[in-house]
Structure 1
């Protein structure tokens, strides 16, 4: 009797642990969003101001003005904690803007090409082949290097190839749905093509697109940090984790915190967004297999 009672308890405990672990990415991402939204309102930071008397302070050291550099300072005396907070806002803003642009363009092209098929689908396939012939980060570097450094240029450079994944996913959904009974019935009843795509095809792409958007968001944040690390991303007036990491390269032995702490912040965000994307992909993929 005791064994039969203990077994459901063990099962319930395992389910609770799995559920708690599955919620960790949500909590971590929510903390990053909270820091990105509220942090700049609490911490005052000027990326152009360089208090040289405070240069290369260790974490927890006192600054010349009497404050505390909780995470240390860089070679120009700028506070690392402030750079991490403002860098979170920059990364999340650029990631959200890029994914939104890529999602709108990719979903629109994918649905139209998948539903219409024919020459439009063939043209889309050729465009994707041409863009995929070059690495995505290489195209982003070329575009960001040609134009003046700005947030808009970074978003456009990262969106050039990011829409391809969304177009592929929505095209596949549209191809499978265009032959369904309710879509055929709508065509027979004379429903306009645009209404069919919006009302009978688009809702079925929401799940896969949301799952894909989380994974693309992680890639975009990492790519933006890479561009800023190379010095061709954001201007000097903007704060980026990539810039902070690059500024600490030559001080890795003596001032490890300059590059290490922003790198840890970037890694934690990327890892948790990736885990969340895998969870959403498995969930919606399972639902598609059941239907």
Structure 2
């Protein structure tokens, strides 16, 4: 009876884990929809500054005859428009940074795990050196040195982000490299690139996808933090971190300026984190 109960329990846990990612996936899909199509559906310019509409509360009517659904900030800018355009900024930076981290991490991890020896030693030491520095500190330095723009932020957030992907790729390659089908492919003269792409890469897809979702959440948070500190995107762009920073001096009188984008950021990060946990539980944690 104990074995039957354990089997039923394990199946229930697996079903719960599979279903736990559905709600976060729907929420993330909504954010993607807003990021792609949202700017086409609203009439407000997020950087326009009609001072006559400054600090309007949510639901107030503007001087142009519209409605400020989430209110306006100290310069009269519509908070909802800033959230919608900020979603596009966060999604673009998040996806671009994760893409760079995945490509660089897989290349480094495959090289270290496949060639081993000197290549593995050199690349492993490089990883150790980069891990000795806090990633956010390196991002702040890079963002402060170069003229701030979207691609500088992507570079700054990618400096250490690829390390976790490299460790996963190296672990997978070391575990698969000695399998019989890999030896057979090597013996018949299959090229290294085809061998890695055809016989080893598929085993990294699950762990990498799960890790990429978690990395996306970290990148969105980091970008908002840099923008909040004033060293992220320029003022001509819209970022959730900038909007939160703009409202920090009005928390007592105009709380919606910081609360609305802060809530949007929190919901996105939590949803991505839950989806990442669901994928990790489904595909299993890769050993580093």
TM-score, scaled relative to structure 2: 0.92
Q: Measure the CA separation in 1 of the matches of 2:85 and 2:196.
A: 41
Alignment-derived partner of residue 120 in structure 1: 119
- Distance in 2 separating the partners of 1:20 and 1:181: 36
Residue number in structure 2 paired with 1:94: 93
Alpha-carbon shift at residue 35 of structure 1 (Å): 0.8
Given the superposition, is the C-alpha separation of residues 175 and 246 from structure 1 closer, same or farther in structure 2, using an over 3 Å criterion?
A: same
Query: Following the alignment from structure 1 to structure 2, what is the Cα–Cα distance between the partners of residues 116 and 168?
Result: 15
CA contact (8 A) 1:47 1:237 kept: no
**How far, CA to CA, are the matches of 1:249 and 1:188 in structure 2?**
64
Q: How far is the alpha carbon of 1:48 from its aligned partner?
A: 3.6
- 2: CA distance, partners of 1:22 / 1:109: 30
For structure 1, list consecutive stretches of 5 or more residues without a partner in the other structure. 1-11
Is the CA contact 1:228–1:242 (under 8 Å) kept in the aligned structure 2? yes
How many residue pairs match? The answer is: 277
Number of the residue aligned with 1:178: 177
Give the corresponding residue for 1:282.
281
State the TM-score, normalized to the length of structure 1: 0.91
Q: Are the counterparts in 2 of residues 47 and 236 from structure 1 also a CA contact under 8 Å?
A: no
Instruction: Give structure 2 stretches of 5+ with no counterpart.
Output: 1-10
The match for 2:7 is none
Partner of 1:28: 27
Q: CA deviation at 1:17?
A: 7.9
| Distance (whole Å) between structure 1 residues aligned to residue 13 and residue 125 of structure 2 | 49
- How many angstroms apart in 2 are the aligned matches of 1:24 and 1:58? 31
Alpha carbons of structure 1 residues 21 and 185: separation in structure 2 relative to 1, 3 Å: closer
Q: Deviation string for 1:41-74 (max 9, x for gaps)?
A: 1113434421001000000011111111000000
Distance across 1 between alignment mates of 2:176 and 2:13: 38
Tell me if structure 1 keeps the 8 A contact 2:47–2:77.
Answer: no
CA-based RMSD? 2.0
Counterpart CA distance in 2 for 1:233 and 1:281 is 31
Tell me the residue number matched to 1:213.
212
Q: 2:265 aligned with 1:266, yes or no?
A: yes
- Single out whichever of 247-256 and 198-207 deviates more from structure 2: 198-207
Query: 1:19 and 1:132, CA in 2 relative to 1: closer, same or farther beyond 3 A?
Result: closer
Name 1:5's counterpart in structure 2.
none
The residue correspondences of 1:233-244 to structure 2 (distance < 5 A) are 233-244=232-243
Shift of residue 190, structure 1, vs aligned partner: 1.9
Deviates more, 1:42-51 or 1:167-176: 42-51
Distance 2:265 2:77 in 1: 19
Q: Show CA shifts across 1:185-243 (max 9, x none).
A: 11221222222111111111111111110000000000000010011110111110000
